[in-house]
Chain A
């Protein structure tokens, strides 16, 4: 049996969502972003919350609309969100806060 789709890689997509929300804040509304990427506002909300696993061409489209480099929206391959993508938020937060003085 597979895990529910949103459990797998959850922290990774939550990190992608946070990056999109940050890049969008103050410049484009969720409504406008939805319209320009042919998505519903619900989809944008879910993507920003990490509840929807975004497709690559959608991500490229969002980067175009927000006028940010695509790489701004993708977590680094050695970030905690990527390395611990199947763990819980509280777990990732614990590791981050407890090792904040380390250069990973």
Chain B
């Protein structure tokens, strides 16, 4: 299955409209909580980034967890990533995002066989779209035809405005065709 770009963009636009968000930084925690999802921030091992649990029994509560020992900007991305899973991958009741350096290659292989790789890509795209909406960036970049990659001060300011990492912003700008990596 391919990444559902259009559906992800629409889902993000619906959220931005619903919560009347018109500029960065996008209040990801407020949106998540307003959707009835609890947020748990824990200091855990660096390899662990986040999780999503949907309660099947009981009151049907949902919890998104993020690693409190990571940089706040990364936590925001993690929470947005898990929100992506919540909205896009309904069949999944428990989801955990972790990294195992030693098994990365094999892991990826095993996951793509089950289509998990695609889910991860969709959740990442959702997080990028949600935290750095294309429309908002267009405003910020209006009239900017300079070499963006060379203007580190501008990129730094933009990343701070959206409360994302420089890395996430650079990747997003490349994805939108503003820069070439």
CB within 8 Å for A95 and B56 given contacts A3-B107, A4-B106, A8-B110: no
A1 to B112, CA, bound (A): 12
Q: How many residues of B contact A (CB 8 A)?
A: 27
Across chains A and B, the number of contacting residue pairs, with CB separation under 8 Å, is: 77
Interface residue? B40 (CB, 8 A)? yes
CB neighbours of A83 from chain B (8 A) = 93-94
Q: Note all chain A residues with C-beta closer than 8 A to B53.
A: 95, 99, 102, 104
Residues of A within 8 A of B (CB-CB), count = 23
Give Cα A14–Cα B55 distance, bound, in whole angstroms. Answer: 24
Question: Residue among B40, B45, B53, B65 with the most chain A CB within 10 A?
Answer: B53
Q: Would you give the 0/1 interface string for B39-74, flagging 1 where the beta carbon is closer than 8 Å to chain A?
A: 010101101100101011110010101000000000
Q: Which of B47, B51, B106 contacts A88 (CB 8 A)?
A: B47
Interface residues of B (CB under 8 A from A): 40, 42, 44-45, 47-48, 51, 53, 55-58, 61, 63, 65, 93-94, 96, 98, 100, 103, 105-107, 109-111
